[in-house]
Amino acid sequence: MTQKLIRLDLNENHLLDDEYYKRLLTLDVDLADYPSEYSRELCESLAKYHGLRSEQFMVANGSDMVLDTIFKTMVPEDGIIGYYEPSYRYYPFLANRNERKVLEIPMETDFTIPTTTEFIDEVDALVLCSPNNPTSLSVDKNRIESLLKKEVLLIIDEAYAEYSSEGCLDLIPRYDNLIITRTFSKAWGLAGIRVGYAVSHAQNIMLLREDMLSYNVNVLSNSVALKAIDNCIFMEDALDRTDLEKQYLTEELSLLDFNVLPSETNFLFCRPPYGIDPHELYEILSENGILIKTFEDARVEDHVRITVGTRKENNELLGSLNEIV
């Protein structure tokens, strides 16, 4: 029998109750019908959940498609998209595929964003991931507002916002140069349905909707996402479990001399003990059926990223690490 892999490399959420998924799969949909235009019902439900208006939401087939549409629609041809590095590897890919140029802005050595904003006049848009993947750190809200006041189009990727102390949705009514993207793939535990969304000023959303492919979110994904919001208490309870497991895993890894950064996500970004090569560690763990994330970029090649799993998964990882280090 093939051993089931323990996937601690994709930042999926496996800490939700089985009852949550049972409720989501009691669907009442007509597969002969097209989805509603622009996922209207889902936009309305998201607006109610977040305390905003439905015309401030745009839903698409995953947050990568949301970002792709933003880059294509809101950044002029041959425009420049700035992004902080290290961060989500798809930003330059999505920019290049839409024939937009990129400007990489290096983070400080402690993985915070630099205080300098000299680059602002060079870019047509700036992408900021907060909390950041892979470093797990959030950007201070005052810093974010200082960037917004520069009047550059600021795109904040909040894929992990539910795990952080605060997001930036409350800034939406105040700044028309702000677009926030979120996803159902992480805290909601629904990576398989591929649903993401943008939140912004209604005028920006209207432009994004005009540039979208029609009916891009199918009726099954729409229905599951709607039921997830109706059953949000399960997601919110799972956030507490994630915090407990994250604290446990952080303490145990620290005892093994891993240097673990504070995390506002569902993963840990850490440097293995002295003398342990991250790529060799990956190979040994993968032989034991456990996958973690390693990096090629020189700035983070000495780190690994580990998803916070269930207690059983975390103990499997720790048991293997105890034998290695």
We report the CATH number of the domain holding residue 281 as 3.90.1150.10
What is the model's pLDDT at position 2? 56
Asked if 127 and 274 sit in the same domain, the reply is no
Question: Domain ends where: 199, 231, 263?
Answer: 231
- 218 and 104 share one domain: yes
In-domain check, residue 25? no
Residues 160 and 239: their CA atoms lie apart, in Å, by: 11
Q: Are residues 45 and 178 in the same domain?
A: yes
Contact indicator for 29, 41 with CB cutoff of 8 Å: no
Specify the number of domains making up the chain. 2
pLDDT in tens, the chain (325 residues): 456 899 999 999 999 999 999 999 998 888 999 998 899 999 999 999 999 999 999 999 999 999 999 999 999 999 999 999 999 999 999 999 999 999 999 999 999 999 999 999 999 999 999 999 999 999 999 999 999 999 999 999 999 999 998 899 999 999 999 999 999 999 999 999 999 999 999 999 999 999 998 899 999 999 999 999 999 999 999 999 999 999 999 999 999 999 999 999 999 999 999 999 999 999 999 999 999 999 999 999 999 999 999 999 999 999 999 999 8
Does residue 171 sit in the same domain as residue 59?
yes
Instruction: Based on the fold, state whether residues 133 and 59 are members of the same structural domain.
Output: yes
Same domain, yes or no: 62 and 173: yes
The residue type found at 138 is S
Instruction: Looking at the structure, tell me whether residues 85 and 176 fall in a common domain.
Output: yes
Q: Is residue 68 part of a domain?
A: yes
Domain boundary among 231, 266, 281: 231
Q: Looking at 231, 250, 269, which one is the last position of a domain?
A: 231
- Number of H helices and number of E strands within the chain? 10, 12
Residue 26 lies in a domain: no
- 24 assigned to some structural domain: no
For residue 27, the model assigns a pLDDT of: 84
Tell me if 65 is assigned to some domain: yes
Q: Is the dihedral angle over the CA atoms 134, 180, 169, 188 positive or is it negative?
A: negative
Whole-number pLDDT of residue 196: 98
- C-beta of residue 246 within 8 angstroms of C-beta of residue 8: no
**Would you say 113 and 138 are in contact if contact means Cβ atoms under 8 Å apart?**
no
Alpha helices in 75-194 (DSSP H): 90-97, 141-148
- The CA distances from residue 58 to 53, 71, 158, 219, in Å, are 11, 14, 15, 16
Same domain? 101 vs 221: yes
Rounded distance between C-alpha atoms, residue 99 and residue 284, angstroms: 40
Domain of 78, in residue numbers:
32-231
Helix ranges (H only) for 51-177 are: 63-74, 90-97, 141-148
| Inside any domain, residue 136 | yes
